[in-house]
A and B are shown apart, each in its own frame.
Chain A
């Protein structure tokens, strides 16, 4: 049986998430290696730019549309998507490992009795089988796995799969108006947090730990973050001390992140912190203790007093950004 592949395109406020372009490209690659047919689906009300998915190798997108679908609803989204999957006989599904993907994909898995692999960081095709690699124990170990059920779902970690440069191809977008929507679980409001960027999605993260000595000094991090267009993160020590909100925590009991650039400022590098950020492409550490474990994973380190180094770093960054 030829594979019928479906990739889920996530929207928030009608805008397509970058992680969905990564998933589209990865799924299209799998399709070309495995053989089969691929299309994409998105759920929402007004969505802009769905045709651009064509540039990532998926030439058909179905938009499941209703004004009640503008905000995510686990009951509504999972119901309309499951119906779409069953009616069109898709057997291989791809999602992104985002807040929405993590909530939605398992519901589809339970409804269609599919094996589901979360947080995949690599996919490989050998003959007719997909092998996925995913971190476990917050990245302290990696497993290779395969899914043995007829229907399979792979959920891909954002910021890992390269979406490549999009071509000019436009996908054919079909709008499928949904008549009734199950709002048993209903989002009544969405509140944005103060910070501009979230650690889970940011390309650059500026994180502070116990070495920041108190909440009053985090304005330095915020200033650096603003210059770099970065998100502010924090170690568990800083969060548990009440200096920063838990939403900023990076590490095993916080968020696992893989930005392009990670600044660890006044963070010694406890094993549970390293687990959450070690897959960052470049790590910069500034710490006064030259033996701090953070230097074991840092690409670039400065040994010194954070309060002496940081203002100079902000000044230098400002210089090059102006």
Chain B
């Protein structure tokens, strides 16, 4: 079985964000980029599935040369092959999905893992869009996954609980934290990954429907007041919450 995992290259969650001079993107100066955290769960699940059932794994990423770093990390963790769909311009979610769907089709992957969202634009929809374009069954925000023959059973996180969901291959799964514990790349894996070729391809062109007009930093909230120290401040806090904020 061919298993694909789609990964994105995003600013570290600890990064401070500044707006670039075009007022439409972030200023990338001094920002550390990492594998999108949710994609690590996707990579791990792809590896675990291959270890159990055999097959071949491929990581796919859309973006500029910098994305190779994230693809190398996937290779170092144990993914067999890597494809970079090279495009450095802005693409909205649907346009990204169209490019990824085309490549997944080319690869002939019948099981695909995504992170549930990438922590840059936070739309959390590229997986579902891609599945729909491929005509694959899809379960999003998954915290447990099992495959038995053709049949897939997942737990999907929802508000206040979880759904138990069943479907069949071909399928696309989006990973939520809790799905597994992503492995660390071994030294051997890191060395092997350095030697592997990252295949570069031109992604299919697709129109952007979303137009970003402007980007701005969230105004930092005005720091409020320190009501006091220790438990002696509690009655005043409770009074403020009742009378000033009127929230309790």
On A, residues with C-beta under 8 Å from B are 71-72, 74-75, 78, 98-100, 102-103, 105-107, 109-111, 113-119, 131, 135-149, 152, 184-193, 195, 197-198, 200-201, 204, 228, 245-247, 249, 251-254, 256, 260-261, 270-272, 275, 278, 281-284, 290, 295-305, 308-309, 311-313, 316-317, 320
Beyond A118-B125, A195-B160: 16 further Cβ-contacts under 8 Å? A115-B210, A141-B218, A142-B216, A147-B211, A148-B211, A187-B164, A189-B164, A253-B119, A272-B13, A272-B14, A295-B226, A297-B221, A300-B237, A304-B230, A308-B231, A309-B233
Q: Whole-angstrom distance between the alpha carbons of A197 and B164 in the complex?
A: 20
B132 surroundings in chain A (CB, below 8 A): 78, 106-107, 110-111
B122 surroundings in chain A (CB, below 8 A): 118-119, 135-138, 256
On B, residues with C-beta under 8 Å from A are 11, 13-17, 19, 24, 26, 37-38, 92-94, 97, 119-125, 128-129, 131-133, 137-141, 143, 156-168, 176-178, 208-218, 220-221, 223-231, 233-235, 237-238, 240-242, 245, 247-248
Q: Whole-angstrom distance between the alpha carbons of A113 and B227 in the complex?
A: 53
Q: A131-B213, A303-B226 are in contact. Are A191 and B218 (CB under 8 A)?
A: no
B238 surroundings in chain A (CB, below 8 A): 313, 316-317, 320
State the Cβ distance, A285 to closest chain B Cβ, in Å: 9
State the Cβ distance, B166 to closest chain A Cβ, in Å: 5
A297 surroundings in chain B (CB, below 8 A): 220-221, 223
State the Cβ distance, A21 to closest chain B Cβ, in Å: 16
Specify the chain A residue showing the minimal Cβ separation from B139: A185
Q: Is the CB of B209 within 8 A of A190?
A: no
Q: Is the CB of A191 within 8 A of B161?
A: yes
Q: Is the CB of B233 within 8 A of A302?
A: yes
Q: Is the CB of B214 within 8 A of A144?
A: yes
B121 surroundings in chain A (CB, below 8 A): 136
Q: A141-B17, A271-B14 are in contact. Are A116 and B93 (CB under 8 A)?
A: yes
Specify the chain A residue showing the minimal Cβ separation from B24: A143
Specify the chain B residue showing the minimal Cβ separation from A190: B163
A152 surroundings in chain B (CB, below 8 A): 209
8 A-B pairs with CB atoms under 8 Å apart are A74-B128, A106-B93, A147-B209, A201-B159, A271-B14, A281-B247, A304-B231, A309-B233
B237 surroundings in chain A (CB, below 8 A): 284, 300, 302, 313
Q: A184-B167, A191-B161, A271-B16 are in contact. Are A282 and B212 (CB under 8 A)?
A: no
Q: A107-B132, A141-B215, A142-B218 are in contact. Are A252 and B223 (CB under 8 A)?
A: no
Q: Which of A193, A261, A320 contacts B247 (CB 8 A)?
A: A261
Q: Whole-angstrom distance between the alpha carbons of A57 and B26 in the complex?
A: 39
Q: A99-B159, A190-B164, A317-B238 are in contact. Are A109 and B16 (CB under 8 A)?
A: no
Specify the chain B residue showing the minimal Cβ separation from A82: B132
State the Cβ distance, B120 to closest chain A Cβ, in Å: 6
Specify the chain A residue showing the minimal Cβ separation from B159: A198
Q: Whole-angstrom distance between the alpha carbons of A193 and B177 in the complex?
A: 16
Q: A147-B210, A185-B137, A302-B233 are in contact. Are A252 and B160 (CB under 8 A)?
A: no
B215 surroundings in chain A (CB, below 8 A): 136, 141-144
Most buried by A among B24, B143, B158, B242: B158
Q: Whole-angstrom distance between the alpha carbons of A271 and B239 in the complex?
A: 29
Q: Whole-angstrom distance between the alpha carbons of A118 and B212 in the complex?
A: 13
B223 surroundings in chain A (CB, below 8 A): 295-298
Q: Is the CB of A299 within 8 A of B224?
A: yes
Specify the chain B residue showing the minimal Cβ separation from A247: B157
